[in-house]
């Protein structure tokens, strides 16, 4: 089995990746760039190596965010962003012959991870999306991060998302999100973002 991990620079996704590797899954990782920040890129590279993924890819997600900022409703930013990520990840996963996607999602932890929002987000791809940490207590995830040796890297200061809205929607409606995607021309954006993918190792 082979999975593609959506790798952030936080605590959760490296743990999710290692859990799947421990289950015998071959894991490759995709990280989405939101800033031109070499320190953050190095942090992600180090995390990917520590997580023991086979390959790491970077994709520039800024075109999607800029389009959403200019033409869309800011409240939908987190859901729109995650749907874009999954679309791009699914395309790469198919190219790399993966069987499923892996995320570090934890129910209710951030705006995009409410039950309603996750339902809307996951409808955008046909590939299975596995979230090993979905019902985990954060303390348990931290323990695993320390066990895997990723914790100290994960807690290094990161700049955070520059596009985070003040009042993100927590109960997104699919029809509203799809309308927003139509307004911003999401298909062209996904194509542009997909072409930005670079293999790091």
pLDDT for residue 144 is more than 80: yes
SS3 4: strand
The model carries a pTM of 0.94
- Reported in sequence order, the residue ranges of 15-125 that DSSP labels E, i.e. its strands, are 26-33, 56-60, 100-102
| pLDDT single digits (tens) 43-74 | 999 999 999 999 999 999 998 888 887 877 88
Domains, in order of start, for the chain: 2-199 (3.40.50.620)
Q: What is the pLDDT of residue 112?
A: 66
- Beta strand extents in the chain (DSSP E only): 2-6, 26-33, 56-60, 100-102, 128-130, 198-199
Q: What is the pLDDT of residue 111?
A: 64
């Amino acid at each position: 089995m082979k999975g593609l991990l959506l790798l952030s620079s936080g605590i959760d996704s490296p743990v999710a990746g290692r859990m799947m590797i421990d289950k015998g899954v071959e894991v490759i990782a995709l990280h989405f760039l939101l800033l031109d920040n070499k320190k953050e890129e190095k942090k992600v590279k180090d995390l990917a190596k520590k997580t023991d993924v086979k390959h790491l890819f970077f994709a520039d997600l800024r075109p999607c965010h800029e389009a959403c900022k200019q033409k869309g409703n800011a409240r939908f930013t987190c859901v729109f962003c995650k749907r874009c990520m999954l679309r791009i990840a699914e395309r790469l996963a198919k190219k790399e012959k993966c069987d499923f996607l892996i995320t570090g999602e934890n129910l209710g932890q951030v705006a995009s991870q409410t039950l309603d929002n996750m339902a809307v987000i996951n409808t955008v791809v046909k590939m299975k999306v596995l979230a090993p940490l979905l019902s985990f207590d954060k303390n348990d995830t931290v323990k695993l991060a320390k066990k895997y040796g990723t914790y100290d890297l994960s807690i290094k200061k990161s700049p955070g998302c520059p596009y985070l809205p003040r009042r993100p929607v927590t109960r997104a409606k699919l029809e509203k999100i799809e309308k927003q995607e139509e307004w911003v021309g999401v298909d062209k954006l996904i194509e542009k973002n997909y072409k930005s993918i670079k293999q790091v190792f």
